[in-house]
Amino acid sequence: MGRSLGPRQGSLGRSLGLHMVVFALLGLGVTGYLLVGQPAGNWPLFVLLPALWANLQALWIRVYRPIRQVEEELELFGEGRPVGIHELIQQLKESVDREYAAGILKREAEISALQSQINPHFLYNVLDSIRGHAMAEGVEEIADMTEALSSLFRYSISHREADVTLERELHHVRSYFKIQQYRFNNKFDLRVLVEGEAEKVLACRLPKLTLQPILENAIYHGLEMKLGPGLVTIRARVRAGQLQIAVTDDGMGVEPERLERINRNFQEWENARRLEGGGGSGIALANVNSRIKMLHGEAWGLHMASTPGLGATVEVLLPAVRD
């Protein structure tokens, strides 16, 4: 026989409802300062009421409704009626997962807010001035490097769009690689091959800054330790509704044990947010893979193949999406 849990659960529901209103009002005040620099108390009523309603709706969907469902299950359990315990656990897990994802989005928003404090126009003007002086003095290498660096910053700092065409991404990659060529005294070379109808392939969209971390990984973990010149080849094509991109280097390659760990982390991306022992670029590769999977699903993402001593290939698989 089960004992009644009704009064306690009802109290929980009333408490949650009160807390929802309090949190909604707090959120409204914070939103006011962030958006218009004024407390919510100074807003006109026709603005205040819709904003309060939006805050309450968000709290209802993300917090109150999942907990209320659990509360109802506990009431059934207290009455001695059968309860799907596995469903209850799954609901709790989904609620925790949603809060975890919300935390990630919050951190990304905080990073974006910090980035927005940088005055990009000042940076661009300085770089343009350096380029102008270099050209006036006939120092073409400095002028070219500064132009590439300016292009790199403009692309990276801009927040106007989260995804770009493959054509724009490749233009950015070339600017990045030009800087690396100057740094390594033209030791490395880059080749870009587009198969099939180039115009359609280049019009496909992908998450911004997908290829630069892969190219960076090829340079620092493949080519930098190699004696003699090195080559990175980027191949892109569309097959069966898929955008397939392969970034291949002829560097040192990856040992089988580490290669297995890397690909396992690509598959188990929710539990492995970083590549084991990968350092900064390893984390960047894992983040690229995670972004693709979060945007498009488990079927998409990165995979690595390698022969030790001969090089490595990172394959990028995306749905072929165009405007």
Q: What is the mean pLDDT of residues 281-287?
A: 74
Residue 319 pairs with which residues in a beta bridge? 242
Per-residue tokens: 304: 């690595």
The residues, ordered by sequence, that sit 6+ positions from 295 with a Cβ below 8 Å of its Cβ are 207
End-to-end CA distance of the chain: 61
Q: Which residues of 4-39 are buried (b: 16+ CB within 10 A; e: fewer)?
A: ebeeebeebeeeeeeebeeebeebbeeebeeeeeee
- pTM recorded for the entire structure: 0.60
More confidently predicted of 118 and 8: 118
The residues, ordered by sequence, that sit 6+ positions from 293 with a Cβ below 8 Å of its Cβ are 269, 300, 301
The band of 193, judged by pLDDT with boundaries at 50, 70 and 90, is very high
Q: Which of 263, 209, 244 is nearest to 319 (CA)?
A: 244
Residue that the structure tokens 């960076």 belong to: 216
Q: What is the mean pLDDT of residues 163-190?
A: 93
118 three-class SS = coil
Chosen CATH of 189-197+208-319 out of 3.30.565.10, 1.10.10.410, 3.40.50.300, 3.90.79.10: 3.30.565.10
Specify the pLDDT at position 195.
Answer: 96
The residues, ordered by sequence, that sit 6+ positions from 300 with a Cβ below 8 Å of its Cβ are 292, 293, 317, 318, 319
Q: Which of 143, 150, 278 is nearest to 216 (CA)?
A: 278
Q: How far apart are CA 211 and CA 316, in angstroms?
A: 9
Q: How far apart are CA 234 and CA 179, in angstroms?
A: 17
Residue that the structure tokens 């065409």 belong to: 165
**Farthest-apart Cα atoms in the chain, separation:** 92
Crossing angle, helix 166-183 and helix 211-218, to 10 degrees?
30
Per-residue tokens: 276: 């084991």
Specify the pLDDT at position 21.
Answer: 47
Q: Which of 79-93, 116-130, 155-169, 213-227 has the lowest mean pLDDT?
A: 79-93
313 three-class SS = strand
Q: Which of 40-54, 77-91, 216-230, 280-294 has the lowest mean pLDDT?
A: 40-54
Q: What confidence tens digit (pLDDT) does each residue in 87-109 have?
A: 666 766 776 666 666 666 666 66
3-state helix, strand and coil shares in percent for the chain, rounded to the nearest 5: 60, 15, 25
Residue that the structure tokens 């403009």 belong to: 154
The residues, ordered by sequence, that sit 6+ positions from 271 with a Cβ below 8 Å of its Cβ are none
Q: What confidence tens digit (pLDDT) does each residue in 6-24 have?
A: 444 444 444 445 444 444 4
CB 191 within 8 A of CB 232: yes
Q: How far apart are CA 21 and CA 60, in angstroms?
A: 10
Is pLDDT above 50 for 278?
A: no
CB 190 within 8 A of CB 177: yes
Q: How far apart are CA 320 and CA 203, in angstroms?
A: 9
Q: How far apart are CA 48 and CA 36, in angstroms?
A: 13
Q: How far apart are CA 23 and CA 29, in angstroms?
A: 10
